[in-house]
Chains A and B, each alone.
Chain A
């Protein structure tokens, strides 16, 4: 665990693995819920870091952090969200070629994977989902699309994501869902929050 100062009121805690990020994030949320954390504004997990902002005394928390015993996360700790997907994306054949399998096998492998939300960003409600083994990581498209439709299920690097709204994007599109990822009138507004488990369920294409 390597802490880095961020301005006057922030701490960026760098960790060795995504699993350690997830475990520290869960511990921070537990302590926040118990009222055992000093007041702070943001807890932002990311790929290899957890960013804490709005701390009156970042050094004080840092000293305390060093004494914590952080249990590794177990799969049963988190809720699972099921997202029905039509695997009809325009890049499905390209992904199949990159994986060296048939498109049907892409569907089978992708829907057999248990994902979890490592962190959010890019757009409100956009979760970066990890779970695919390294041989199945794919590059971004050479030319990003100016418009990716809402609900597109997409791959890039180690991540799977679902576009919560229509936007430009360079990820490989393998499918579509009607599930609403982001609705500010709903509580919680984001379906996918850091730590959530996700399974994609194949749906018949119409």
Chain B
């Protein structure tokens, strides 16, 4: 094993390797996967001197701690959290030089859900179908981090970025999800469609990388039953028999038989990665 590596001291609730995912394989049943908060993932990479495609760590709520084997530049973005190096405070949202043998700790999120840790050179686990992303639906890519695991790092690409102001995301106090209706909005009654845009929904604790589940008033269906399986996009608002919309995130199944009432464009999905359970959700019809 090369010296360019880190070992896991504290894995956190769920920490996975992510990049920009493996699009183009949906016809084989392979989800896209990749960082749920793509802008935060790209920013972490830029601060660490990497291209946006380099693999980072995505944490969930409780952060993680790692011991680096060689001196490495690291940047933490996404959900803001206390960052320390061997117990000494270090900046969030900026390149941090971590000496060989030191422990980098990204603490619990002060708000939001998922922090991103980029390492100069990126995480160099073996790619599967062109991506290093962990896909929790189908089990492709590296397993979630466990204590004691050792992950290799690549060679640094270039100097870390300097001096740009880094936006500090505020808490998501209300998750606004603009959507385009269809393809199966005709499976719902007028009242059901009105419920979607007027109902008081909240983020359910049942969510994961596959989908953000909601709690609220059920959408009234115009037709019972299921569709023959059909292709499902990222951002689909799929409505299972309980009538409560599920927003499909990056590990979503590529086909499904429950009707999709609308689709949230990809550019609006990053806040969904940071909305904690209980956050109010508002669906905004775009046309």
| B-binding residues in A (CB < 8 A) | 4-8, 10, 12, 41-51, 53-54, 119-126, 128, 165, 184, 189-190, 193-194
Contact = CB atoms under 8 A, between A and B. Distances in A.
Interface in B130-145: 138-140
> For chain B, what secondary structure do more than half of its interface residues adopt (helix, strand, loop), or is it mixed?
loop
A124 B30 contact: yes
Contacts of B170: none
Contacts of A123: 29, 138
B228 A42 contact: no
B182 A42 contact: no
Contact of A7 (B25, B128, B229, B263): B263
A166 B180 CA distance: 37
A7 B228 contact: no
B253 A12 contact: no
A121 B29 contact: yes
Interface size range on B against A: 20 to 34
Contact of A124 (B29, B180, B182, B263): B29
Contacts of B109: none
B231 A7 contact: no
Interface in B175-234: 180, 182-184, 228-233
Contact of B230 (A5, A49, A189): A49
Given A44-B231, A47-B228, A53 B26 contact: yes
A48 B265 CA distance: 24
Contacts of A42: 23-24, 26-27, 231
Contact of B180 (A5, A50, A119, A184): A5
Contacts of A4: 182-184
Interface in B3-28: 23-28
20 contacts: A5-B182, A5-B183, A6-B263, A7-B265, A8-B180, A41-B23, A41-B24, A42-B26, A44-B231, A45-B27, A49-B231, A50-B231, A53-B26, A120-B29, A121-B254, A122-B253, A123-B138, A124-B138, A184-B128, A189-B28
Nearest to A25: B27
B229 A124 contact: no
Contact of B233 (A10, A128, A193): A10
B235 interface: yes
Contacts of B129: 184, 189
B53 to A, nearest CB: 16
B255 interface: yes
Closest 9 CB pairs of A and B: A51-B231, A7-B263, A47-B228, A44-B231, A121-B255, A4-B183, A120-B29, A42-B26, A49-B230
Contact of B140 (A5, A6, A120, A124): A124
Contact of A44 (B182, B255, B260, B263): B255
A48 B255 CA distance: 12
B184 to A, nearest CB: 8
A176 to B, nearest CB: 21
Given A42-B27, A44-B254, A189-B129, A6 B183 contact: yes
Contacts of B260: 6
Nearest to A188: B28
A8 B286 CA distance: 11
A122 B29 contact: yes
Nearest to B127: A184
Contacts of B29: 120-126, 190
B230 A12 contact: yes
Contacts of A184: 128-129, 140
B230 A47 contact: yes
Given A44-B254, A51-B230, A124-B30, A7 B180 contact: yes
